[in-house]
Amino acid sequence: MATKPSPTLLRRQLGAELRRLRERTHRTVADVAGGLGWSQSKLSRIETATIGVRGADLERLLDVYAVGDKERARLLALRGQARQKAWWEAYGDALPDAYETLIGFEAEASVISTYEAQVVPGLLQTDEYANAVTLADGVYDDPDVLGQRVAVRMARQAVLIREPPPHLCVVLDEAVLRRPMGGHDVQRRQLLRLVEAAERPTVTLQVLPFAAGAHRALAGSFIILEFAADSDHPLVYCEGMTGGVFRSRPEELRSYLTSFDALRDAALSPERSTELIAALANTAK
């Protein structure tokens, strides 16, 4: 049975349509944004779906592109569909905007590739480990908000068992395995969860050992999201202390994709990685 597209995917389709209309008129982002009195960033973020587009702004764009009545009605209807609420929006007050957008893109991705230098990726965390990570951030003083953040992180993991499931490809820095987040018992149970996850046919888990030395991702962790539709280009998500940012320019994508391939080449094989994780779990008692 066909699944209903998520609001995030519909928003991305709308952004792609708007980009196509702009390119059809042979105008740059700077040309259109300047004519409307917008920043280039605003139009770029609408086209890449990192923000939604207001109805009045969409009407102005369609006027600029001289869109006919039939196509205008279709695009306005698409915007209406894209405004439907997804499950994670119920936690909106507890979630940064970029994180909400990430959850939406995860729900549609066919391949999720992530390099993590500090902590276990959210899609593979236990609830107690996620609680320890969220507490360590020091951002959320309200216990209710903290609990909501952990609940969302656990709910995100349902994407791994959807039909069809995405392929999750993870490279963990060895430091992630040796940092006792939440204490040794919490860390041990988290390591055992990783061993279980590695047994799934749709999960590839590798460890980048300290012995690898310098590597292509010294700048930090990142997530690459790839989509089944040829028209949906990959996205890269990077998270910092004050929020996340998406990268979508072709040259940026090439850099991250090349770096991830290099990380996989430098990492231990999936089999040796699982053996190392299991051994560390046994010593974390």
* pLDDT single digits (tens) 29-55: 999 999 999 999 999 888 888 788 899
According to the model, what pLDDT value does residue 1 have? 37
Confidence of residue 81 (pLDDT cuts 50, 70, 90): confident
Domain spans in the chain, listed from the N-terminal domain onward: 7-82, 87-283
CATH 3.30.870: does it fit domain 87-283? yes
Contacts of 121 (CB under 8 A, 6+ apart): 114, 170, 172, 223
Tell me the per-residue pLDDT of 220-233, one tens digit each, with 9 for 90 and over: 999 999 998 766 78
For residues 7-13, give the mean pLDDT. 76
Q: If you count them, how many residues does the chain have?
A: 285
Given a cut of 60, whether residue 144 has pLDDT beyond it is yes
User: Between the CA of residue 109 and those of 67, 165, 169, 189, 251, what are the distances in Å?
Assistant: 31, 9, 12, 28, 21
Residue 52 vs residue 281, higher pLDDT: 281
Write the CATH number of the domain with boundaries 7-82: 1.10.260.40
DSSP 8-class letter at 223: E
Instruction: Report pLDDT digits (tens) over 85-129.
Output: 665 555 555 566 788 888 888 988 999 999 999 999 999 999 999
Q: Are 224 and 257 in contact (CB under 8 A)?
A: yes
The sign of the dihedral angle between the CA atoms of 205, 207, 212, 215 is: positive
Q: How far is CA 270 from CA 207, 226, 266, 273, 278, in A?
A: 8, 21, 12, 5, 12
Nearby residues of 155 by Cβ (< 8 Å), 6 or more positions away: 87, 88
Could you check whether the bond before residue 164 is cis, i.e. omega within 30 degrees of 0? yes
